[in-house]
Structure 1
Amino acid sequence: MRFRPFICLSLALAPVVFLPACRSSGKDKLETTIRARDQRIYDLQNDVDKLAGYNLALQTEVRATRGLAGPSTNDPFTPLYPVRSLVVGRSTTAVDDDRLPGDEGLQVVLEPRDSDGRLVRAPACATIMVMEVDSQGLKSPVGTWDFNAEQLRASWKQGLLTSGYVLTVGWQTIPRSSRIKILASFTLEDGRRFEAEKDLSIKPPVEQSMSLPGSLSAPLPLTPVPGSVSPPAVGSGKESLPVPSPIAPPAPLPDPKLSPVPSKFIELPKPMAVPAPAGPAAMLLDPRLN
């Protein structure tokens, strides 16, 4: 029983004694993991540098085979990082500048990127293909546009909202669906080719006859004039003018006749004389005879 207080005291002080050791062990493990990860990053960076040098050597060999000058680090158009992927930018949209219903073209932004996802400016050629998708999912081509290295170089833009190769194209075939698919390819000078695609919603352009309210959908038919010749059919190769019909002389005007103007007053008939009634003859009486 004499050792009971000692045992209780030892159990109470055990967490205090072993806790710093546990904390020290966890800290050492974290530091070891961080050092191993740093070393891994360093090794990967060395591998990337070796691949970049190997890529530069291949570019030099390809240029020498084609009779071109080798790449120079002072050339601002020489890619500092190898292109790894192609992205159709978020600034890709339909174009409507004529203030008429419907879109008349597209603005496609191509963004070549390196392994770190950074934008890269590299000499290349590009091809853009647009297909419309109907309600049943069927695709039909709308147009294909090719851009050489000079055209692609002139289209480069770098700004706050839009960066990359900005290419504006008009419809080769007017789409009738509001859904289109953009297929883009980016071919470098060394022969490597990258592809990307993007779905886009547009407003199909309206035909010219339906563009403005009240416009005529078809020309009005011509009423044939008596004595004229009907126009020849399209594609007959013959042209004929209508024969003018003879002009008839004007009809003579009738002689003017004067007619009495009706009066506003009503003429009453004159009254006839009324005869006196027949009766006994008047007799003059002389008072002296009585």
Structure 2
Amino acid sequence: MSLLLVLTLCGCGGRGNSDLLEARLREQEDNIFALQRDLKESHQALETARHQTEAMQKQLVKASNGTLLPEQTKALYQVTGVKVNSLLTGGVDLDNQQGDELWTTLITPHDADGETVKLPADMELELVDLSQTGANRRVGIWNFNSQEVRSHWYSGFAGSGFRFELPWQRQPSNEDLTLVVRMKSQDGRIFNTQAPLKISQVDQPQKSKVAQASREQLTPVEPARISFEEQTGVVIEEDENPFEPIPTDDVQQEEAGDDSPFRVIQE
């Protein structure tokens, strides 16, 4: 009786596990079908987006009037910011004397990962002196369109980007300046950044103010009087005259006692 009960319970348990396994398999099949349907829809959406992107790129190249190449339209959407290379930013000395005659900088557009993106764009570079006020605050401002920026591309050991080497518009009165960069991409986005710029200031000699005195204010100086009157001088007797000739006998005695090989031999 007990054996029959055990077999019956085992059979019921086996049928229950089989039904549970079949239910899970049907659920996984439904999930696979749903994922395949979503994947197919994603492929269709991606293909549609690709065609739209190609059409927009063609329109963008046409609207840029040749300033943007077709292969650069992809880089246009990769740019997320702009940065200043501090290693290649500062003053430039041309004559090996005190003071910098030029200033230079390297501007680098970058993507979300910080990688360099070679994308010419309109740029505005402004140098300001934060220690000044009013109109003296701006040292200079330089504007470049995308075609001009393209010719400034630089790639070297210290970095890559658009390098500029420019003369002063106004001689700075301070060695610590601030560079403000504004870049406008072809799709209308604007990227801003700023960085410190250290230079060597040119020495400017200060003009001394000399007071001009009138002839009436000048007091004539009495000339020195030269007296030709004979004055009695005081004679100081010295124990030994340094100019008195030395006796010949003393010289001969000194020469006789001198063992120098260069002495004069008397005949």
The TM-score normalised by the length of structure 2 is 0.51
Paired residues of 2:182 and 2:192 also in contact (CA < 8 A): yes
Corresponding residue of 2:83: 87
- SS at 1:133 equivalent: coil
Match of 2:70 among 69, 72, 80: 72
In structure 2, do the counterparts of structure 1 residues 135 and 187 end up closer, same or farther at CA, with 3 Å as the change threshold?
closer
2:168 matched to 1:149?
A: no
Task: Determine the C-alpha separation between the residues in 2 that align with 1:167 and 1:173.
Answer: 17
2:150 matched to 1:170?
A: no
Between 1:89-98 and 1:108-117, the stretch displaced more is 89-98
Paired residues of 1:59 and 1:190 also in contact (CA < 8 A): no
Amino acid at match of 2:202: P
Task: Determine the C-alpha separation between the residues in 1 that align with 2:122 and 2:51.
Answer: 24
Paired residues of 2:100 and 2:201 also in contact (CA < 8 A): yes
- SS at 1:186 equivalent: strand
In structure 2, do the counterparts of structure 1 residues 86 and 141 end up closer, same or farther at CA, with 3 Å as the change threshold?
same
2:115 matched to 1:118?
A: yes
In structure 2, do the counterparts of structure 1 residues 112 and 69 end up closer, same or farther at CA, with 3 Å as the change threshold?
closer
Match of 2:190 among 190, 193, 202: 193
Q: How far apart are residue 148 of structure 1 and its match?
A: 2.0
Task: Determine the C-alpha separation between the residues in 2 that align with 1:199 and 1:69.
Answer: 31
Q: What is the number of equivalent residue pairs in this alignment?
A: 166
Structure ranking higher on relative contact order (CA contacts 8 Å, 6+ apart): 2
Amino acid at match of 2:79: V
Between 1:99-108 and 1:84-93, the stretch displaced more is 99-108
After superposition, what is the alpha-carbon deviation per residue over 1:78-108, rounded to whole angstroms, capped at 9, x for unaligned?
Answer: 6276111000112212111122211222111
Task: Determine the C-alpha separation between the residues in 1 that align with 2:177 and 2:58.
Answer: 40
Paired residues of 1:130 and 1:141 also in contact (CA < 8 A): yes
Corresponding residue of 1:100: 97
Task: Determine the C-alpha separation between the residues in 2 that align with 1:206 and 1:50.
Answer: 65
Q: How far apart are residue 63 of structure 1 and its match?
A: 3.8
- Aligned 1:200-279 pairs, distance under 5 A: 200-207=197-204, 209=205
Task: Determine the C-alpha separation between the residues in 2 that align with 1:51 and 1:181.
Answer: 43
- SS at 1:79 equivalent: helix
Paired residues of 1:133 and 1:177 also in contact (CA < 8 A): no
Higher helix share goes to which structure?
Answer: 2
Q: How far apart are residue 134 of structure 1 and its match?
A: 1.9
Task: Determine the C-alpha separation between the residues in 2 that align with 1:151 and 1:99.
Answer: 30
Task: Determine the C-alpha separation between the residues in 2 that align with 1:121 and 1:83.
Answer: 9
Q: How far apart are residue 126 of structure 1 and its match?
A: 1.0
Task: Determine the C-alpha separation between the residues in 2 that align with 1:52 and 1:179.
Answer: 49
Task: Determine the C-alpha separation between the residues in 1 that align with 2:112 and 2:105.
Answer: 22
Task: Determine the C-alpha separation between the residues in 2 that align with 1:205 and 1:54.
Answer: 56
After superposition, what is the alpha-carbon deviation per residue over 1:203-227, rounded to whole angstroms, capped at 9, x for unaligned?
Answer: 22223x57xxxxxx58x9xxxxxxx
Q: How far apart are residue 176 of structure 1 and its match?
A: 0.9
Match of 1:61 among 59, 72, 78: 59
Paired residues of 2:78 and 2:111 also in contact (CA < 8 A): yes
**RMSD of aligned C-alpha atoms?**
3.9
Task: Determine the C-alpha separation between the residues in 2 that align with 1:66 and 1:80.
Answer: 13
Structure 2 gap segments, 5+ residues each: 1-42, 211-267
Q: How far apart are residue 57 of structure 1 and its match?
A: 5.1
Paired residues of 1:133 and 1:139 also in contact (CA < 8 A): no
Paired residues of 1:181 and 1:200 also in contact (CA < 8 A): yes
2:157 matched to 1:160?
A: yes
